[in-house]
Amino acid sequence: MAGKKGTIIIDRELCKGCYLCIEACPNSLIGIFDELNQLGYYPAYYREENNKDRECTGCATCALVCPDVAIEVYRE
Amino acid sequence: MQKVFQRPKYLKQAVFHYCPGCGHSIIHRLIAEVIEELGIGEKTIGVPPAGCAVLAYDYIDVDMGEAPHGRGAAVATGLKRVLPDHIVFSYQGDGDIAAIGTAETIHAANRGESISVFFINNACYGMTGGQMAPTTLLGQESTTTPGGRNEKRDAAPLDLSEILAIARGSVYIERTAVNSPRNIRKTKRAITKSFKTQMAGLGFSLVEILSPCPVNWKMTPVEATKWIDDTMVKTYPLKVIKDTVGKIDG
Amino acid sequence: MSEKVLMRGTQVIGEAAIRAGCRFYAGYPITPQNELTECMARSMDATPGGTFVQAESEIAAINMVIGAAMAGARAMTSSSSPGISLKQEGISFLAAQELPAVIVNTMRGGPGLGNIAPSQGDYFQATRGGGHGDYRTIVIAPNSGQEIADMTRTAFEYADKYRNPVLILADGMMGQMMEPVIFPEPIDISSLPPKTWSLRGAAGRPSKVILSLLLNPAKQEELNWKLDRKYKIIAREIPKAEKYMTDDAHLAVIAYGTAARIAKGAVRRVREMGLKVGLFRPITLWPYPSRELHELSRHMRNFLVFEMNMGQMVEDVKLSLEGRSDVHFYGRPGGTISTPDEIAKIINTLYHRQNLEKDS
Amino acid sequence: MKKTVFAGFGGQGVLMMGYAFAMAVMNDGKQITYLPAYGAEMRGGTANCTVAVSDEEIFSPVSSAPDYAVILNNPSLIKYESMIATGGTLFINSSLVTTEITRDDISVVKVPAGDMAKKLRNERISNMIMLGAFVSRSQLTSMESILNALAEITKGKKSSLMKSNKKGLDAGADYVLQGA
């Protein structure tokens, strides 16, 4: 997938903080946000600003494992 | 950039009531995706169970008719017999299908009812608070097996899918899981095959899906997915249990 | 097809059901109603679009009926007392989900497995809902082959009109007895109004759900109020009873089904003896024909309830009469069938004990 | 109102006799009820049915005092003899029913139907012989109606069946006419 670029959008209000996406992301691009969402969870977030070396390929594995359909995936 | 993954068309815009890391909503999503991909959304009727997934109709956006606890296969039989050109599926938990509804399920399979049954196995009664289910593993703790399930006291787990494979009317039975990307993809293929089997009118099909229940297992969601791989599959190996359908097109 | 035929009660129900547009039947063997299941097996095979399923249990049968009703079919199941107990879960669901269906109970004797003789022991179960929750089923109690033929059609019409389960309450005698019957013409099911609420796939409309779980108490209350309003309408619209020689009577026997036939024979006998006695026969047991019975109490102060049980309908009679008249009871349980002579003797004794001959 | 009980053991064609009679009477334009006794067992045991005939509405299909009883075995005789109404008529297949009849307030028609059937080389028609005797004596319906009813019931079956049925009916009727 070299060269392919992608991105994800995590809906923080849908996230229940199971962090299966964090486990699934091959490039460790998802982190835990430090503010509670309206459901009372610390939601996952896309570490966009920190991915200079390891870029999102839009592989969608995070979305695949997300039980709450909180992640949308975009790819070039 | 193109959107390559989004909420499928047949999943309603609603926040799931399920606990964090629960497998139900993954399975709901997979069913919705397959319904969309097969273009059967306007002729599919689902039968939700009693249990955690009792509110499945709040999420999966097709016609749904609620069955009494365990009776999903019987209600689905009535629907399918009246509407033979429609696609009918029942969605049942392990207590629903393998305890109270065993008779209805075995006989629907034996009659070869052309329905798809999705059997969600989380090795406990989730909604009622984590009591022993017929599928609870030996040694597994639950609120009614405080010292772990003991074969003498509590019987051994029931291998319902293997039992159903003996039934003459069942044509396709596979056990999958939704604890990893790979297994989720496999589960989706199995759901697809089950619907296609029904569309071809070949008989009864069932997909048993091992599904994490982190809260009742007293684990984190990540631990729960690992527990399926490390422990649960030893009792319930992931495999095609019966397949007289073979490759199916469409 | 207005030909007179000689047919067993259970088979009359089957034939009448098919003619009423019933296209789905699921059942499980139990005496004394097996001929109905067998008749449906043959008839459904011979009826285009008809489905017969011999279910693995009474529970499965009623749940198949739930599915068929959801799909919009006119659906029926049948059983006898112990089997009807098993169906109660499903009947409660039918009521909650407002699904039309016809359930036939060919009552047999006694609690438990009991015996297969005619009885009326399931009156409470039939008229009080029977299963869990705050609901009612419409209960029809025919007392002749012809009435079975006519009322079976009515049962399907009520079920569809009110979207409610309808119970045909027969007994072993009604089920086994053969009488000449003239069937109504078969209906054209394509002429029935479309069931817009049924589940036929969400084509060209939003998806919908038929459910009974309402976790929100306010929603549950709303449904229960809605059901209650419906039951009040039913209670106003369909109560039905037969009155026989009640105009000048000082005493009326109240009985339904098989008991009413025996009671009618008894009334005829005591009339020959000069006693002014009539018969009031409820044809719908729920809703109970309370108003018509109440009317009778304007000129009658004595009623004798006769049942093939130890006094279940007598409660509805007392509720209907609201203390305006004396209510007496005679009954025999367990599948025993009284004779008209026996009832005539009871009437005679009561008539003279109450000094009713002096009223004339 | 006339009530008739037909009784014997299973397999003797008791229910068929009652059914054919009921159908004949119905086609005559009368009111009828036919009530079979049904048991939990499917084979063996006694079989009986009650047919009520009337010009008016029939109330109880059950009879505690039948006007006629057609009895094909000893146990049924013991059960029904005492029930028959005073002045009623008891028909027995005397080839099988050997118990002595004690009542003198009823008429008794003894028909050796078993022996007659044997002579006619068809032991299965003894019920038809009894039916013929019953119809001929009771006059509750005509032989023609019975034949029509039987033809309707056996419709689609071998025509030889109807022939042997007629033979039996005639034999029973003749036997009664000759003053049994």
What per-residue confidence (pLDDT) applies to D39? 59
- CATH, residue C176: 3.40.50.970
Q: Rounded to an integer, what distance in angstroms lies between the CA atom of residue C168 and that of residue C151?
A: 8
Alpha carbons C24 and D24: distance in angstroms, whole number: 35
Q: What angle do CA A21, A27, A33 make, to 5 degrees?
A: 50
| CA angle at B197 for the pair B44 and B239, rounded to the nearest 5° | 115
pLDDT at B103: 98
What distance in Å separates residue C222's CA from the closest CA in chain B? Answer: 19
Query: D 26-85 residues with CB below 8 A of C?
Result: 26, 31-36, 38-40, 57, 59-62, 64
pLDDT of residue C1: 47
Best C56, C93, C132, C196 member to test B by mutation, with max B CBs in 10 Å, is: C56
Residue B111 lies in a domain: yes
- Could you count the other beta carbons within 10 Å of the beta carbon of residue B168? 11
For chain C, the domain total comes to 2
B249 occurs within a structural domain: no
Nearest alpha carbon to residue D139 among D177, D165, D108? D177
Q: Judge whether B19 lies within some domain.
A: no
Chains A and B touch (3+ CB pairs under 8 A): yes
Q: Is residue A1 part of a domain?
A: no
Which of B63, B75, B81 minimises the CB distance to C51? B81
Report the relative pairing of strands B2-5 and A71-75 from DSSP bridges: antiparallel
**Would the CB atoms of D36 and C176 count as touching at under 8 Å?**
yes
* Yes or no, beta carbons of B16 and A68 under 8 Å apart: yes
Binned at pLDDT 50, 70 and 90, residue D44 comes out as: low
pLDDT of residue D64: 86
Tell me whether residue B123 is in a domain: yes
The answer to whether the CB atoms of D26 and C176 lie below 8 A apart is: no
pLDDT digits (tens, 9 = 90+) for D34-43: 999 865 544 5
Range of the domain at C351: 242-359
**Please, which residues bridge with residue D70 across strands?**
D6, D91
Q: Specify whether C110 is located in the same domain as C221.
A: yes
* CATH classification at residue D109: 3.40.920.10
Tens of pLDDT, residue by residue over B52-93, are 999 999 999 999 999 999 999 999 999 999 999 999 999 999
What's the gap in Å between the CA of B74 and the closest CA on chain A?
29
pLDDT range class, residue A55, cuts 50, 70, 90: confident
Structural domain span for residue B138: 24-243
Burial of C24-46, coded b for 16+ CB within 10 Å and e otherwise, reads bbbbbebbbbbbbbbbbbebbee
**Residue C188 neighbours by CB distance under 10 Å:** 8
**CA-based nearest residue in chain D for residue C258:** D60
pTM of the model: 0.93
Residues C350 and C246 in one domain: yes
The secondary structure of C284-350 as a DSSP string is: EEES--HHHHHHHTTT--EEEEEESSSSSHHHHHHHHHTTSSEEEEEE--TT----HHHHHHHHHHH
Name the amino acid, one letter, at B127.
M
Does the N-terminal peptide bond of residue C287 adopt cis geometry, omega within 30 degrees of 0?
yes
Based on C-alpha coordinates, what's the Rg of chain A? 12
Q: What is the pLDDT of residue D38?
A: 66
Residues 6+ apart with CB under 8 A from C222: none
Closest to A66 in 3D by CA, of B221, B159, C147: B221
| Domain count for chain B | 1
Do C282 and C225 sit in the same domain of this protein? no
Share of chain D above pLDDT 70, in %: 95
Q: Which of the four pLDDT bands, split at 50, 70 and 90, describes residue D180?
A: low
Contact yes or no for C178 and D60 at CB 8 A: no
Of the listed ranges C46-55, D20-29, D148-157, the least confidently predicted one is: D148-157
Q: Which domain holds residue A13?
A: 6-75
| pLDDT in the model for residue C359 | 67
Spell out which residues of chain D touch residue C339, defining contact as CB-CB under 8 Å. 60, 62, 64
pLDDT at A24: 97
Q: Determine the straight-line distance between the first and last CA of chain A, rounded to whole angstroms.
A: 11
Q: How many domains does chain D have?
A: 1
pLDDT at D159: 80
Same domain, C344 and C325: yes
**What is the model's pLDDT at position D156?**
84
Contact yes or no for C8/C174 (Cβ under 8 A): no
Count how many domains chain A has.
Answer: 1
With beta carbons under 8 A apart, name residues in chain B contacting A24: 181
Q: How far apart are alpha carbons C146 and C9 in whole angstroms? A: 9
Q: What's the CA gap between C96 and D59, in Å, rounded?
A: 39
Task: Report which DSSP code applies to C56.
Answer: S
Nearest CA in chain B to A17: B20
- State the pLDDT at residue A4: 65
Question: In the listed set C237, C259, C277, which residue is the last one of a domain according to the structure?
Answer: C237
- Dihedrals φ, ψ of C197, to 5°? -85, -10
For chain C (length 360 residues), average pLDDT per consecutive 10?
A: 87 98 97 94 95 97 98 98 97 98 96 92 96 97 98 98 98 94 96 96 96 94 97 98 97 97 96 97 98 95 97 98 96 92 96 85
pLDDT of residue A3: 56
Taking a C-beta distance cutoff of 8 angstroms, is the pair C326, C354 a contact?
Answer: yes
Give chain B's residues under pLDDT 50.
none
Largest CA distance in chain D: 45
B222 and A69: CB-CB below 8 Å?
no
- Provide the CATH number for the domain around residue A41: 3.30.70.20
Instruction: Please tell me the distance from the alpha carbon of residue A14 to that of residue A11, in angstroms, as a whole number.
Output: 6
Report the CATH number that the domain containing residue B87 is assigned in CATH. 3.40.50.970
